[in-house]
């Protein structure tokens, strides 16, 4: 039977996923593209713009993150951005063609108070512009998730980052279980889930398969799956990690597309290290979103004009 006529699966095993990851590249990409075109016939590429609302000084010790207070990096803690500044940034992003606006807070968890009330206002204002709104701000409670849902939040980003087995090599200030619990709160509140990981932190192919297994056995699948290539930032414990082989990234994107046919697969951090051709291969493998704008949260992203040129050169719908 044609794979595209089978129901979407939530029972993938890591052995099956490893087998996919190890397929010859071209048949793997062909299979991913076939599934992609069946489930997402427009194959449009969503442009999402990121803004760091609260930068640096984070109490968590994520080994990859330039914003952790545990690492000495060039990122200095900044005052939290005001509602007016955030709304102005969202207006600019919209005028430049983004349809989703993602706001980040370098927090372990959301706390009650003015900062949270401001976050709710930012969400309402971004939605009022007709943009999708996404927030990433660490752990949250059921009540906070419900309030974000009531403000109109489209998605909450909370990444699992890597496999449960490799997790404590990367972060020790929180557990994988806490991450999953937060995702559950988000889901229960009716907010869509944005959850993915980072490739290139020294993890094995087995770890990559396990991360994909956890994502692909969530039911429903996360609506949005960011695939980040590590940005090795000076001063972080992972500063000396070698860059990911772009073809490995293509394999991971293709496998994510096969496992989660209707999710937006987002080629996220690390695009400055990728050639145009490598990015096009990722699109062929089923990637259908990128971060659009000159910075991610604190690190560079490709130039806006270069991204538009690339999308125009391949005739992409965006």
Tokens of 23: 């397929």
**297 makes contact with ligand SAM (CB under 6 A):** yes
Cα dihedral across residues 161, 164, 168, 172: positive or negative: positive
**17 makes contact with ligand SF4 (CB under 6 A):** no
230 binds, among ligand SAM, ligand SF4, ligand DTB, none (CB under 5 to 8 A by kind): ligand SAM
**233 makes contact with ligand SAM (CB under 6 A):** yes
Q: For residue 100, which of 284, 221, 268 has the smallest C-alpha distance?
A: 268
- Which residues face 155 on adjacent strands? 134, 192
d(CA 290, CA 127): 20
Q: Are 212 and 260 in contact (CB under 8 A)?
A: no
CB of 237 to ligand SAM, least distance (A): 11
**296 makes contact with ligand SF4 (CB under 6 A):** no
In 184-242, where do the E strands start and end? 192-194, 197-199, 224-229
**203 makes contact with ligand SAM (CB under 6 A):** no
In 171-262, where do the E strands start and end? 192-194, 197-199, 224-229
Stretch that binds ligand SF4, among 63-71, 196-204, 215-223, 305-313 (CB under 6 A): 63-71
| Active site annotation includes 195 | no
Q: Is the peptide bond before 220 cis (omega within 30 degrees of 0)?
A: yes
Contact characters 11-50, ligand SAM, x per CB under 6 A: ----------------------------------------
| Active site annotation includes 58 | yes
CB of 125 to ligand DTB, least distance (A): 19
Q: Are 154 and 100 in contact (CB under 8 A)?
A: yes
Alpha-carbon distance values, 60 to 76, 106, 108 (Å): 15, 9, 6
- Binding region for ligand SAM (CB under 6 A): 58, 64-65, 67, 104, 106-107, 136-138, 158-159, 161, 198, 228, 230-231, 233, 269, 297
- Binding region for ligand SF4 (CB under 6 A): 58, 60, 62, 65, 67-68, 106, 108, 138
Active site residues: 58, 62, 65, 102, 134, 194, 266
């Amino acid at each position: 039977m044609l794979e595209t006529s089978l129901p979407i699966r939530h029972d993938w095993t890591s052995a099956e996923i490893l087998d996919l990851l190890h397929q010859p590249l071209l048949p793997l990409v062909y299979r991913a593209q076939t599934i992609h075109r069946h489930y997402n016939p427009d194959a449009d590429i969503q442009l999402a713009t990121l803004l760091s609302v609260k930068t640096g000084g984070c109490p968590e010790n994520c080994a990859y993150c330039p914003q952790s207070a545990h690492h000495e990096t060039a990122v200095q803690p900044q005052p939290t951005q005001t509602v007016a500044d955030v709304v102005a940034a969202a207006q600019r992003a919209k005028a430049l063609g983004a349809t989703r606006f993602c706001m980040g807070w370098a927090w372990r968890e959301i706390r009650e108070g003015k900062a949270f009330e401001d976050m709710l206002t930012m969400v309402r204002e971004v939605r009022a512009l007709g943009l999708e709104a996404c927030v990433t701000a660490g752990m949250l409670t059921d009540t906070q998730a419900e309030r974000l849902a009531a403000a109109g939040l489209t998605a909450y980003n909370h990444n699992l980052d890597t496999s449960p087995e490799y997790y404590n090599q990367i972060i020790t200030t929180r557990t994988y279980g806490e991450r999953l619990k937060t995702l559950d709160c988000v889901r229960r509140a009716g907010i869509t889930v944005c959850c993915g990981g980072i490739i290139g932190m020294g993890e094995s192919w087995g770890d990559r398969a396990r991360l994909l297994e956890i994502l692909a056995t969530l039911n429903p699948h996360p609506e949005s799956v960011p695939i980040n290539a590590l940005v090795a930032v000076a001063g972080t414990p992972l500063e000396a990690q070698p860059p990911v082989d772009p073809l490995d990234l293509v394999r991971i994107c293709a496998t994510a597309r096969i496992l989660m046919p209707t999710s937006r697969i987002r080629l996220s951090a690390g695009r400055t290290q990728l050639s145009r051709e490598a990015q096009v291969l990722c699109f062929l493998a089923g990637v259908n979103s990128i971060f659009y704008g000159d910075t991610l949260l604190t690190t560079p992203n490709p130039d806006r004009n270069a991204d538009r040129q690339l999308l125009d050169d391949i005739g992409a719908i965006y």
